[in-house]
Structure 1
Amino acid sequence: MNRSPVPNQRAIIDRRLLAGRIAELVAEHGDKARPHIVQALKEALDAGRAELTRRLCERPSAGHACTRGHAFLIDQLVRVLYDHVTADLYPAPNRSSAERLAIMAVGGYGRAEMAPHSDVDIAFLTAQRHTPWCEQVIEAMLYLMWDLGLKVGHSSRTIEDSMRLAREDLTIRTSLLEARYVWGDEALYDEASRRFWSEVARGTERQFVVEKLAERNARHKRMGDSRYVVEPNIKDGKGGLRDLQTLYWIGKYTHQVRSAKELVDIGLLTKAEYRGFRRAERFLLAVRCHLHQITGRAEDRLTFDFQRQIAERMNFADRPGKSAVERFMQFYFLQAKRVGSLTGVFLAQLDEEFAQKSAKRGFFAGFRSRPRELKGYVVHGGRIAAPSDDWFRKDPVRLIEVFQLAEAEELEVHPRTMRQAARDAKTIDHAVRHNARANALFLDLLCGRNDPASVLRWMNEAGVMGRFVPDFGRVNAQMQFNMYHHYTVDEHTIRAIGLLSRIEKGELADDHPRATRLIHKVASRRVAYVAALLHDIAKGRKGDHSILGAEVARDLCPRFGLSDSETELVAWLVLHHLLMSHTAQKRDLTDPKTVEDFVNTVQGIERLRHLAILTAVDIRAVGPGTWNSWKGQLLGELFDLSQERLRLGHARHGRQERVEAKRAEVSKRLGPRSDLVASVGGRLDDAYWIAEPADIAAINLVHYQAAREADHALSIHCEFYEQRGATLVTVIAADHPGLFYRIAGGIHLAGGNIIDARIHTSRDGWAVDNFLVQDPHGRPFMEEGQLDRLKKSIADALANRIDLEPRLAQRPLPHSRSKAFDVDPRIVFDNKASNRFTVIEVNARDRSALLNRLSRSLFEEGLVVHSAHVTAYGERAVDTFYVTDVTGSKITGEARLARIEGSLLVAASDALQAQLEDA
């Protein structure tokens, strides 16, 4: 877009020297010179790329210099090729008027924005069709370029064909828009350029803008429609290079600018915005060049695998609480945010230009709908605008007010006003932050009844949010370098607020029925919204973000205007915002001690209601697919059990009463077969009846009876369990040591992930083991073929028909990119979490058959697993086991605990995985 000269060009490639070398090779080898010429060209290409790689290493953020350098290198090679082909292979000293050929660079090559492995997009322009000399030259050049290993995108058309196709096809029109003369018949290129502007572009400016924006919106939707996804596509993603290029294309098409700098001259960007444009473009181009160099190919996805390497190349360093890669990605998202802001003001300016032109002509010339006044602001066309350029500088509190009014009145903020707000955000100082009216307006916006999330997002884009709430500014564009979180911290927070608003309006009742009821029962809805805003406010700092966040909440809530009791509740929620999800997913909810400990921390119904709501929106705002029916069921069970304890001060029923109530419910479910509760159920102890839900117990009893009647040594039952969004796998077999880890191995071999497991033994020595299983994408197995595969795999594992360890090691990782992260295994023993069991929690890198390896290690250490609970957080898995020794006692000896820890660390280690894979 801005083609300043490439410095020290001959260090990249010396065209005259290369042309002379080719002339020597032709003279020396004659008709057999081709392989020698290709070799000389390859050496020049490799030397040029090496020089540009060296320059990027010296100046790792010099994106423009690197991409211009690669375009220059290709330019010189193309010129040498053309001169060689037309002089030595197909000389035509007396060409006819038809034998005219111009070579144009198009696409990124046309803009002189070429990363190391970008396609070489070339258009051959001819005067007439099917001219033998032109076709020979084009073919010869293409074959030589292919011999060099270049990936060439090419077209060959006459001027007439080019104009006709450009009128019909947006892609071809865009291609011609940024076409750049490289070599050949320059007069032919000039004629094509003149005709393009006079025959294609003139009068179609508005159509081009509409089509380009539609194309952009479709691309955004395809790429996830957020600029804050943690593995962005730097070319096609929202806020990426293609968005900047779209602005340039629109500006060039509507105003015939020759460079992005001229967008300032025509008033579409201010000088400051243009500088932001260039900074964002320079950084994104540099990142793309590093990606190409690292991968050795045209790669535009900034995946976890490469983020750490590029952060190191671009000299980002670790800081307390924030790693180098997180700082690099935060800078990336700030540039993507800048691109979004530029897009808004640019298009608004263009929209006004079109509106003014339309108003000056036609039947309704001079007629425009009248704007209305709202508290000093101008409202017109569904947009609210500041009435003057100095509006915010006169009273910075208006920077909060304009967004609050936009939310309350369901208006958009005019992009020109967004531009003013971004410019004047720096006027928000300590006095404004502690202004009572400003804070009341902010709280009204945060708790707005319409769409607070969208307006908070605009406020954040303008930089007002970070200035008014500096703690939020610290997490602005901050990524979390893991595979669990899909968005930056600020985007995750705003999405959580949006989900809370939708739950309050009843829009998510099907997915969150409990939260939909509870939001209307809490004493203060303000607490719910402020807690959602602040729950991750201290991420990226040195220390526990929950503890630090609670301190921030105690400072901010009184400033926002919350009462002392509201402040204390928000601080408590921020401190414990992970408690409910961790308890539900990592602990055995049928163990009375689990609920007892949870209730001792919660201590009140109001806290429980708010915590349930915050937990739901926090999990769902992590990203698509993170919330599922299994998590909803677990959280619901924990809520119901805890609410009962809090209301009554104790469990409604004692242990024996609970057992009898469960047996009665199962009897009712079984109907005519209710006798199984006594005959089969009598063989199962009280722990079974407390642990298993009534519907699963009913299935188990029927299954157990059928297996015994058929005298089956092994019986496996699989069915889709809709209530939990998983597949229920029940195995009934003669109990023996190692049964659990072998079943787990069989399930893993069939492609299943175990999310929950309960292990029981009947009084006559039969194991009744229940597993909840999902596929690697969190979906249940439902098809008959899948269920049969599960059964066969488990049966083969238990019959020793397969060697489990090597087979399991060969299975692909659930997340192939998990090796990009440092996940050190960690083992936690807890003898206080349960009255009967030792609870062992293993944190490790998620990998195929981790549960199988850990449970085998426990078996080899002489432990009995009574239940297992599996939770995945992207690349990290947390497997929790409730265990005893063979006598049914807890594990207490320090020496034995240390030995078990060592064994589990080996089982969870990357080194063992590597050994198994090698074997």
Structure 2
Amino acid sequence: MPPRLRPTRLEHVVDGHALRARLSAAALDAIGDEVEQRKQALEILKAALFRGRMIAKERLENGAGGVETARLLSGVTDEVITALYDFTTVHMFRARNPTEGERLTLMAVGGYGRAVLSPYSDIDLLFLRPYKQTAHTESVIEFMLYALWDLGFKVGHASRTVEECIKLSREDFTIRTSILEARRLTGDEALADELKRRFRAEVVKGTGAEFVAAKLKERDDRHGRADASRYMVEPNVKEGKGALRDLHTLVWIAEYLHPVENPTEVFTLGYFDRREVAVFVRAFDFLHAVRAHLHFATGRPEERLTFDLQPEIARRMGYGDRADNPAVERFMRRYFLIAREVGALTRTFSAKLETEHLKAHPKGLSRFLPGRGGPKRKPLDVAGFHEEGGRLNIAGPEVFERDPVDLIRIFRIADQRDLDLHPDAFTAVTRNLGLITSKVRRDPQAAKAFLDILARGRRTYRTLTLMNESGVLGRFVPEFGRVVCQMQFNMYHSFTVDEHTLRAVGVIADIADGRLSEDHPLSVSIMPLIDDRESLFLAMLLHDTGKGGAGGQEKAGARAARSACERLGLDRGKIELIAWLVEHHLVMSDYAQKRDVTDPATVAAFAGIVENPERLRLLLVLTVADIRAVGPGVWNGWKGQLMRELYAATEAVFRGGRGSDPAASARRHQSSIAAEARTTLIAADPAAKGWAEAMEDAYFTAFGPEELSAHAALARRAQIQGGAAAETRIRPDRNAAEIVVAAKDRRGLFADLALVISGLGGNVVGARVFTSAQGQALDVFHVQDVTGSAIGCDNPRILRRLADALEAAGRGEPATFEPRKAPELGRAAAFAISPTVMLDNEASEDATVIEASGRDRPGLLEALARVLSDAGLSIISAHIDGYGERAVDAFYVQTQGGGKLADTRKANGLKNTLLEVLEAEEGQSARGRPRLERARASVAR
């Protein structure tokens, strides 16, 4: 399609004359035997097609461009299909004196009509007739279609007259677009010319507005299906935002408004300057190369660049590792930079079209549409700027040359007045990025304009996204620019680093405006208490700028934050606060999800890091926004409850006074709550006195009065009905089912219960284990299903079955169901997961904290818990979290004597055994299982 790319020469790939000669020879050799003639013809054509595809594949792997490959594949297909047509019409169904009704033209339409074809793409054909179908043309078409199917083509086809094509084109924009791209392959040339002439005169003429509107709606619907962001980390190369179809749309619109004989002539119409043509060529070629590699790698028309395919495509396209920058992340960053260029090209194209086709109230690319007269210009009170057609425009590029700070101001003006940026202004911005120098970055007026957008903007996410798309944001804040389009190669994050960051900033803006009060009531209530919003928003903008940096993400991010904030002219106190928030932006999430927030030592340690209530408030909002912006479904009620509990416990420590010891304050707080809860429980239920006096303080701080009463009753029921009882309920506030099991404590109880939950399709997201002084255990699980919803939320029978199975397990009865097997790794196989195990005797006053991390799989919690049980350890609490393909399980354990695991030899043995479990796959070989059992046995000894 681009003008610099010439059609690939085919004589050394498929020699059309020689191919037809072989087909003729085969027809003559088997004359009189149509079955044999067809068989030999297909063998010859298959060989030619295979050879052509293999040559294209080899050239691609040796560095040929994507368009060159697509044109070569199209050329090979042309030769095969036209040779088949000649064979069919000469040797199989020859009309020696064809009548007017037997004229037939074979045309390529759709993508094949553009003469660019991916290895396993469909081929769209139009059999064009002058009148109604005759027996002869019907025979030719039928023979060809069956032959093409036998050759392995997936064929989209239609057989129509010229009149039918015109009629259907008026009614259906998909058909209209396919005929717009129609290309004659062979057959009656006059018939093809008639279709083209009538199509332009009777369909295209005077219908530019409706065609543009239809294509824009089609584009919007497509983007909606493929997610509205062009920065999804598993993009669709064909249909996604910033992908091939967006480029096709540009050419369709230009070609429709200005019909040309050859699609490459679109580039001579004046819509694009030399630089923009180069951008189009680069993007079109790169995306076609990626698509061709995808097809060849999978052997099918795969359009989605999934995690499991990304490393292979990166390798095929010649990307290698560089220092801490893996090949796959380098390749994907290139992909997203191309997608961004496609977005900028779309805006530029719209600006060119608007000089000819104007609309009074444009929206997005609908500004292409024609209207009556040009849009009115409304002067603004800012020199050099005006409102035009409901968008912000500039007097000319000299505005930025006169004062480069206007490259920042333009976005503040657009935000304050809630205006979209005019395409002419956007284009001028992108062409003047070089004016943003170190002087502009240190200009106080530029800093003020930027901070107004960031911390006080009306539509912060939209404006920052526009700044990022134009290249201004990364240019003005180079630390952010370093992570623009940077890939995060894991299954946890759904977006690139910059898109995730901008979404997180947008979440804070939404919280501040009260738009997320139901999801984040605590965050909303504390936002009015935060005086320094600039620090909060800047910390969020800069929180991931340390990814891949020296010394780790947190330290590198803090350095980057200091550099950016110093350049913005902030005072030292604010700079250090922002740097602290960036360095510690993961701390609250880690403590809430991996530690026991009812343990005074946990709260004290967290309070010691945070140091004051203002940091606590800032860190809570930052953490909520960060998690929520990771991707769809990552934030849920369970995480929200954990955050609220940690926040409340830490706030209580700070209320204890500046001079108090955090641990002592947390213990006093816990003891006070426990004493009051005991008294309340006994007063409400005198029969619960023994239970209340036998339970530790930590139990009473974890539950409310109604829950405590229900637990006491459940414990009594367990004693009555054979030693175990279970209850279940859906907790919408935690996005999980709460399952409580009361049973006589014994070795391996927790592991047996975890096995039942996993075997019946549940994923444990959190667990607390309490044991009374009388030896009765109370295990509380919060469980989701494989979709991340509360298990049993739409089927109460699942919860009843779970309760029955857990009661049986609590009594020591063996499981009667088939355990769930691990699914195929699929996309997760692309990730190398290094298992880790950490033992910490400092994190808790009376327990050892064991954190085990590795590849997630069904039954992992049970396997880890079984090892701990075999080692003679009691699990006090378990905290389960997942990060895409990685599981992180933290256990608080005690020895049989009620203390910490202090024996170094046993601790090392336990660590090695846990690593064995993390490395093992479910259904491991018989050779692997005994090794694991021997390791467990050594720990038990």
TM-score bracket relative to the smaller structure = over 0.9
Pair 1:686-2:690 in alignment? no
Residue 145 of structure 2: SS of its match in structure 1?
A: helix
* Of 225-234 and 547-556, the range deviating more from structure 2: 547-556
RMSD: 2.2
Pair 1:375-2:402 in alignment? no
- Cα distance change, pair 365–555 in 1 and its aligned pair in 2 (3 A): closer
Partner residue in 1 for 2:939: none
Q: 1:529 aligns with which of 534, 537, 544?
A: 537
Pair 1:471-2:474 in alignment? no
Cα displacement string for residues 390-433 of structure 1 (whole angstroms, at most 9, x for unaligned residues): 22122211111111111122111111111111011012111111
Pair 1:755-2:765 in alignment? yes
Partner residue in 2 for 1:855: 865
Cα displacement string for residues 221-261 of structure 1 (whole angstroms, at most 9, x for unaligned residues): 11111000001111111111111101111111111145565
Instruction: Please state how far the C-alpha of 1:706 moved relative to its aligned partner.
Output: 2.5
- Cα distance change, pair 446–358 in 1 and its aligned pair in 2 (3 A): closer
Partner residue in 1 for 2:635: 627
Pair 1:846-2:847 in alignment? no
- Cα distance change, pair 368–547 in 1 and its aligned pair in 2 (3 A): closer
Residue 185 of structure 2: SS of its match in structure 1?
A: strand
- Cα distance change, pair 607–41 in 1 and its aligned pair in 2 (3 A): same
Instruction: Please state how far the C-alpha of 1:278 moved relative to its aligned partner.
Output: 1.2
Partner residue in 2 for 1:54: 58
Partner residue in 2 for 1:499: 507
Instruction: Please state how far the C-alpha of 1:381 moved relative to its aligned partner.
Output: 2.6
* Letter matched to residue 696 of structure 1: E
* Letter matched to residue 279 of structure 2: G
* Of 691-700 and 486-495, the range deviating more from structure 2: 691-700
CA–CA distance in 1 between the matches of 2:582 and 2:110?
A: 50
- Cα distance change, pair 543–93 in 1 and its aligned pair in 2 (3 A): farther
Q: 1:663 aligns with which of 664, 667, 678?
A: 678
Cα displacement string for residues 609-649 of structure 1 (whole angstroms, at most 9, x for unaligned residues): 11111111111111111111111111111111111111213
Question: Counterparts of 1:125-136 in structure 2 under 5 Å?
Answer: 125-136=128-139
Contact kept in structure 1, 2:454 and 2:464, CA below 8 Å: yes
Cα displacement string for residues 540-578 of structure 1 (whole angstroms, at most 9, x for unaligned residues): 324311111111112221322322211111111001000
CA–CA distance in 2 between the matches of 1:917 and 1:719?
A: 42
Contact kept in structure 2, 1:546 and 1:574, CA below 8 Å: yes
* Letter matched to residue 505 of structure 1: D
Residue 758 of structure 1: SS of its match in structure 2?
A: strand
CA–CA distance in 1 between the matches of 2:586 and 2:6?
A: 55
CA–CA distance in 2 between the matches of 1:509 and 1:701?
A: 35
Cα displacement string for residues 738-765 of structure 1 (whole angstroms, at most 9, x for unaligned residues): 1111111110111111011112223333
* Letter matched to residue 515 of structure 1: S
CA–CA distance in 1 between the matches of 2:388 and 2:361?
A: 17
CA–CA distance in 2 between the matches of 1:743 and 1:633?
A: 24
* Of 30-39 and 489-498, the range deviating more from structure 2: 30-39
Pair 1:11-2:12 in alignment? yes
Question: Counterparts of 1:884-903 in structure 2 under 5 Å?
Answer: 884-903=894-913
Contact kept in structure 1, 2:132 and 2:161, CA below 8 Å: yes
Pair 1:698-2:709 in alignment? yes
Aligned pair count reads: 907
CA–CA distance in 2 between the matches of 1:210 and 1:759?
A: 61
* Letter matched to residue 835 of structure 1: E
Question: Counterparts of 1:153-552 in structure 2 under 5 Å?
Answer: 153-258=156-261, 261-355=264-358, 369-376=376-383, 377-552=385-560
CA–CA distance in 2 between the matches of 1:258 and 1:793?
A: 73
Contact kept in structure 1, 2:895 and 2:901, CA below 8 Å: yes
CA–CA distance in 1 between the matches of 2:287 and 2:442?
A: 38
- Cα distance change, pair 918–251 in 1 and its aligned pair in 2 (3 A): farther
- TM-score, normalised relative to structure 1: 0.95
Contact kept in structure 1, 2:874 and 2:895, CA below 8 Å: yes
Contact kept in structure 1, 2:873 and 2:895, CA below 8 Å: yes
CA–CA distance in 2 between the matches of 1:909 and 1:695?
A: 42
* Letter matched to residue 39 of structure 1: E
Q: 2:801 aligns with which of 789, 805, 813?
A: 789
CA–CA distance in 1 between the matches of 2:109 and 2:178?
A: 6
- Cα distance change, pair 834–72 in 1 and its aligned pair in 2 (3 A): same
Unaligned 5+ residue runs, structure 1? none
Unaligned 5+ residue runs, structure 2? 363-370, 658-664, 930-941
Contact kept in structure 2, 1:731 and 1:768, CA below 8 Å: yes
Residue 447 of structure 1: SS of its match in structure 2?
A: helix
Cα displacement string for residues 358-408 of structure 1 (whole angstroms, at most 9, x for unaligned residues): 99xxxx966853422331111123211110132212221111111111112
Residue 352 of structure 2: SS of its match in structure 1?
A: helix
Partner residue in 2 for 1:556: 564
- Cα distance change, pair 221–725 in 1 and its aligned pair in 2 (3 A): same
CA–CA distance in 1 between the matches of 2:746 and 2:129?
A: 82
CA–CA distance in 2 between the matches of 1:357 and 1:887?
A: 80
Residue 353 of structure 1: SS of its match in structure 2?
A: coil
CA–CA distance in 2 between the matches of 1:187 and 1:358?
A: 44
Contact kept in structure 2, 1:6 and 1:68, CA below 8 Å: yes
Contact kept in structure 2, 1:123 and 1:156, CA below 8 Å: yes
Residue 47 of structure 1: SS of its match in structure 2?
A: helix
Instruction: Please state how far the C-alpha of 1:767 moved relative to its aligned partner.
Output: 2.2
* Of 577-586 and 11-20, the range deviating more from structure 2: 11-20
Pair 1:79-2:82 in alignment? yes
Residue 109 of structure 1: SS of its match in structure 2?
A: helix
- Cα distance change, pair 405–523 in 1 and its aligned pair in 2 (3 A): same
Contact kept in structure 1, 2:461 and 2:506, CA below 8 Å: yes
CA–CA distance in 2 between the matches of 1:828 and 1:694?
A: 36
Contact kept in structure 2, 1:749 and 1:793, CA below 8 Å: no
Partner residue in 2 for 1:614: 622
Q: 2:653 aligns with which of 645, 650, 654?
A: 645
* Of 682-691 and 406-415, the range deviating more from structure 2: 682-691
Contact kept in structure 1, 2:118 and 2:295, CA below 8 Å: yes
- Cα distance change, pair 512–357 in 1 and its aligned pair in 2 (3 A): closer
* Of 236-245 and 551-560, the range deviating more from structure 2: 551-560
Cα displacement string for residues 148-174 of structure 1 (whole angstroms, at most 9, x for unaligned residues): 111111111111111100000011001
* Letter matched to residue 893 of structure 2: V
Contact kept in structure 2, 1:320 and 1:541, CA below 8 Å: no
Contact kept in structure 1, 2:821 and 2:922, CA below 8 Å: no
- TM-score, normalised relative to structure 2: 0.93
CA–CA distance in 2 between the matches of 1:586 and 1:345?
A: 49
Residue 355 of structure 1: SS of its match in structure 2?
A: coil
- Cα distance change, pair 468–828 in 1 and its aligned pair in 2 (3 A): same
* Letter matched to residue 474 of structure 1: R
Instruction: Please state how far the C-alpha of 1:294 moved relative to its aligned partner.
Output: 0.8
Contact kept in structure 1, 2:73 and 2:117, CA below 8 Å: yes
Contact kept in structure 2, 1:320 and 1:542, CA below 8 Å: no
* Letter matched to residue 873 of structure 1: Y
* Of 467-476 and 690-699, the range deviating more from structure 2: 690-699
Pair 1:713-2:723 in alignment? yes
Contact kept in structure 1, 2:2 and 2:280, CA below 8 Å: no
Residue 827 of structure 1: SS of its match in structure 2?
A: strand
Contact kept in structure 1, 2:359 and 2:389, CA below 8 Å: no
CA–CA distance in 2 between the matches of 1:695 and 1:262?
A: 76
Contact kept in structure 2, 1:658 and 1:690, CA below 8 Å: yes
Residue 519 of structure 1: SS of its match in structure 2?
A: helix
Residue 305 of structure 1: SS of its match in structure 2?
A: coil
- Cα distance change, pair 366–333 in 1 and its aligned pair in 2 (3 A): closer
Pair 1:743-2:753 in alignment? yes
Question: Counterparts of 1:98-109 in structure 2 under 5 Å?
Answer: 98-109=101-112
Partner residue in 1 for 2:834: 824
